[in-house]
Amino acid sequence: MVTNLAAKEAKPLSDTPLKLADYFKIDGVYTPGSISDQPTKGEIFPVTSVMQTDFRAFVEVVFGNWEDVAQSWHVDMSFFVVGKNGTWEVESYQ
């Protein structure tokens, strides 16, 4: 299980593109596995979140926003979006 990053542990946003940082092994641009398994609570802070997974693995991501501000996300590669109103529950699969 991935734990939440505290604001003090978050790496600042970088101008270095992620693919270049990965290829040239540049430290301090992102933290693999920085996406939490559970909703975060508390302070919101900007950070480049990177999911650590196997190449071509099936990954399911549930986005939820309980804040008073809009959140925007950029997802790269092959990604299919299915929308739903309300709160997501495990029973939502059925």
- Arithmetic mean of pLDDT, 39-57: 76
What confidence tens digit (pLDDT) does each residue in 50-94 have? 778 888 888 887 777 777 887 777 777 777 777 777 777 777 766
Domain span at residue 21?
1-94
Tokens of 60: 């399911």
CA distance 78 to 74: 12
CA distance 9 to 74: 22
Structural domain count of the chain: 1
